[in-house]
Structure 1
Amino acid sequence: MSGELRDNRGRGDAEWGLPPIHPEGRKYGIIAVAIALVVLLIFDWELLGWPLLALSAGVFAFFRDPERVVPQGDRLLVSPADGLVSLIALVPPPAEMQHATEDGGPGLGTEPVMRISIFMSVFDVHINRSPIAGTIRRIVYMPGRFMNADLDKASEENERQHVLIQSTDGKTIGFTQIAGLVARRIVPFIKPGDIVAAGQRVGLIRFGSRVDVYLPVGTEPKVLLGQRVIAGETVLAEIGTAGLLEGVSQ
Structure 2
Amino acid sequence: MKLHKESKGTLTVAILAILIIGGISIYFLKMWSLLIIVPLLVILGLVFWFFRVPNRNILEHVENVIAPVDGKVVMIKEVVEDEFLKEKCIQVSIFMSPLNVHICRYPVSGDVVYKKYHPGKYLVAWHEKSSTENERTTVAVKSETNHKVVFRQIAGYVARRIVFYCNIEDKAKAGHEFGFIKFGSRMDVFLPLDTEILCKIGDKTKGGLDVIARLRD
Q: Same fold (TM over 0.5)?
A: yes
**Distance in 1 (alpha carbons) for counterparts of 2:172 and 2:214:** 19
Q: Please point out which of 86, 90, 97 is paired with 2:78.
A: 90
2:107 aligned residue: 131
After superposition, the CA RMSD in angstroms is: 1.5
The answer to whether the Cα contact below 8 Å between 2:119 and 2:135 also exists between their aligned partners in 1 is yes
Name which of structure 1's ranges 36-45 and 24-33 shifts more when overlaid on structure 2. 36-45
Q: Which moved more, 1:20-29 or 1:35-44?
A: 35-44
Partner Cα distance (1:86, 1:62) in 2: 21
Matched, 1:164 2:140: yes
* Paired letter, 1:208: G
TM-score normalised by the chain length of structure 1: 0.80
Shift of 1:156: 1.5
Which residue type is aligned with residue 204 of structure 2? R
Taking the aligned partners of 1:192 and 1:120, their CA distance within structure 2 comes to: 26
Check whether the contact 1:40–1:50 (CA below 8 A) recurs between aligned residues: no
Unaligned 5+ segments in structure 2 are 27-32
Partner of 1:9: none
Once the two structures are TM-superposed, the CA of residue 177 in structure 1 deviates from its matched residue by 0.5
Q: Is the 8 A contact 1:96 1:140 kept in 2?
A: no
Q: Secondary structure at the match of 1:156?
A: helix
**Bigger fraction of residues in strand:** 2
Q: Which residue of 1 aligns with 2:14?
A: 32
**Conserved in 2, the CA contact under 8 Å of 1:177 and 1:205?**
yes
Q: How many residues get paired?
A: 211
Tell me the CA shift for residue 33 of structure 1: 2.1
Q: CA deviation at 1:218?
A: 0.7
Counterpart selection for 1:233 from 199, 209, 215: 209
> Any unmatched runs of 5+ in structure 1?
1-17, 99-108, 242-250
Q: Match of 2:187?
A: 211
Provide the identity percentage: 36
Query: What is the DSSP-based 3-state SS (H/G/I as helix, E as strand, rest coil) of the residue aligned with 1:23?
Result: coil
- How far is the alpha carbon of 1:65 from its aligned partner? 1.3
1:248 corresponds to: none
CA apart distance, 1:42: 4.5
Contact 2:61/2:109 (CA < 8 Å) preserved in 1? no
